[in-house]
Chain A
Amino acid sequence: GEDVEQSLFLSVREGDSSVINCTYTDSSSTYLYWYKQEPGAGLQLLTYIFSNMDMKQDQRLTVLLNKKDKHLSLRIADTQTGDSAIYFCAEIPDNYGQNFVFGPGTRLSVLP
């Protein structure tokens, strides 16, 4: 069945890079997404990547996609305390019905 996996926790020092990893199961997924959730709030779309791309860069964010291994990563350069949040990756296993499948989320803690 469809399953998206992520590590649950990550701690980094302020100013370092953070790398959050995700593995997904459905090779037919055409778009893969990263969302950020701050405490007590909804999910905010951070970035996405189309499946025919290997990499996408957006300011401090870099998304890498390895379709062969079904592995997605989000790199945050120069991590700040404001980046502390839960990060979810998500796939859409088919193109009908928009039934997103979310990972369990990675809680990023940024230490001063």
Chain B
Amino acid sequence: DGGITQSPKYLFRKEGQNVTLSCEQNLNHDAMYWYRQDPGQGLRLIYYSQIVNDFQKGDIAEGYSVSREKKESFPLTVTSAQKNPTAFYLCASSIAVWTGGAHNSPLHFGNGTRLTVT
């Protein structure tokens, strides 16, 4: 079955350590995204990538880094510079949209990684 796999489901780290969250998809989607979810808030975009070897900052990129070396993989590193890293992190993918006009290209989500930093 095609889908998005995030691992691990739970992650615990000490303050000051970098940590990398994994996201793999076998949907053959060009575009991939990382969102952060905090209680009572909507999803906030951290980074997105529409093609291999290219990625763009989202609304809250500070303290995070990504890479896109393969189409299937879009790992997110939470660095020690991120002031409040404890959150639920969601990876998503979609068909990339390159032209204007109406396109139905919904996001498909993984099951998330809950990161706790103490």
Contacts and interface: CB of A to CB of B under 8 A. Distances in A.
A100 B112 contact: no
Interface in A5-27: 8
A102 to B, nearest CB: 4
Classify the interface of chain A: helix, strand, loop or mixed: loop
A43 B108 CA distance: 8
Nearest to B111: A42
Interface residues of B, number: 34
Nearest to B43: A102
Q: Nearest 3 CB-CB pairs, A to B?
A: A42-B109, A102-B42, A30-B102
Contact of A99 (B41, B45, B111, B112): B45
A63 B96 CA distance: 26
B40 A104 contact: yes
Interface string B84-111: 0000001010101111111111111111
Classify the interface of chain B: helix, strand, loop or mixed: loop
B31 A88 contact: no
A45 B104 CA distance: 12
A43 B107 CA distance: 9
A59 interface: no
Contact of B102 (A41, A43, A45, A95): A95
A102 B90 CA distance: 13
Contacts of A40: 111-112, 114
B25 interface: no
Nearest to A102: B42
A76 B6 CA distance: 30
Given A43-B90, A95-B100, A102-B42, A48 B106 contact: yes
22 contacts: A31-B103, A31-B104, A35-B109, A40-B112, A41-B112, A42-B4, A42-B90, A42-B111, A42-B112, A50-B102, A95-B97, A96-B100, A97-B97, A98-B31, A98-B48, A98-B50, A98-B97, A98-B105, A99-B58, A103-B42, A104-B40, A104-B42
